[in-house]
Amino acid sequence: MTTTNQSASNIPSLGVGTFRLKDDEAYDSVTMALNVGFRHIDTAQIYGNEDAVGRAIKDSEVAREDLFVTTKVWNDKLNKANFVDSVQESLTKLQLSYVDLLLIHWPSPENGESMEEYLGELLRVKEMGLTKEIGISNFTVAQIEEAVSILGEGVISTNQVEVHPYLTNEKVRAACDKHGIVVTGYMPFAVGKVLKDDTIINIADKHGVSAAEVVVAWELAHGLVTIPSSTKRKNLETNFKAQTLTLDADDIARIDALDRGDRQADPDFSPAWD
């Protein structure tokens, strides 16, 4: 069975997201994704589906060492009192002894804890062997700089942020690039919006592929990791197949030009975006 490409770090460049998927829906999506060939599964404490994801992984025939599993610590756990326990609880639900990547989900600790405190806990969890790599999510340029000043260069594996043709997030991507941090782009389809875009449909027609394949191929062409989600096997297969699509420079430039700052994920605790 085909496996996904590796990015500049050890993160497989194409994964499957599980945001908004619950119970059997999460179980079925991960099961189908593994059958299609995905080996990178992304979840989070707040998604409420770590147990379903864990069951799907356990019930699959894929060896643990062939999988790359990511989870994220939620805002109310970003402190010395709760951080490690929350990760151990995640591992229990996932039925794993470690995750491959652990992220700070938002730089928005519920009780105003310092970044030094929660990044210190993140590093501690890595030293305990509960995760192989550590990273951040939804961090702004200033927060990336602060995080690197706390942990040092080469420690942060990725910054997982919203990236799609309508929000190319270039300032954050440039800041990550400067520090050798891989960018993981979530919501690549902007909740389906970009799949209806005339430019993307036009490029898809030119290559004889779907709009989704074009969007995923665009993310991969920029060296991003991306984690589209789907509950339909056909869509999972299409997303996976995007790895074989090569866009030309004109295609990429036309998609880049669609940027309009159209952010989908903007909860009230979000940082001041760049």
| Residue type for position 264 | Q
Question: Which residues are part of the catalytic machinery?
Answer: 47
Number of H-type helices and E-type strands within the chain: 10, 8
222 is in an annotated binding site: no
Question: Locate tokens 């470690």: which residue?
Answer: 98
**Edge-to-edge strands, sheet with 16-17:** 16-17, 40-42, 68-73, 99-104, 131-137, 156-162, 182-186, 225-226
Cα–Cα distance, 22 to 92 (Å, whole number):
17
DSSP for residue 179:
T
| Rg of the Cα atoms in the chain | 18
Residue 114: Cβ within 10 Å count:
13
Residues in the annotated binding site for substrate: 105
As annotated, the binding site includes 105
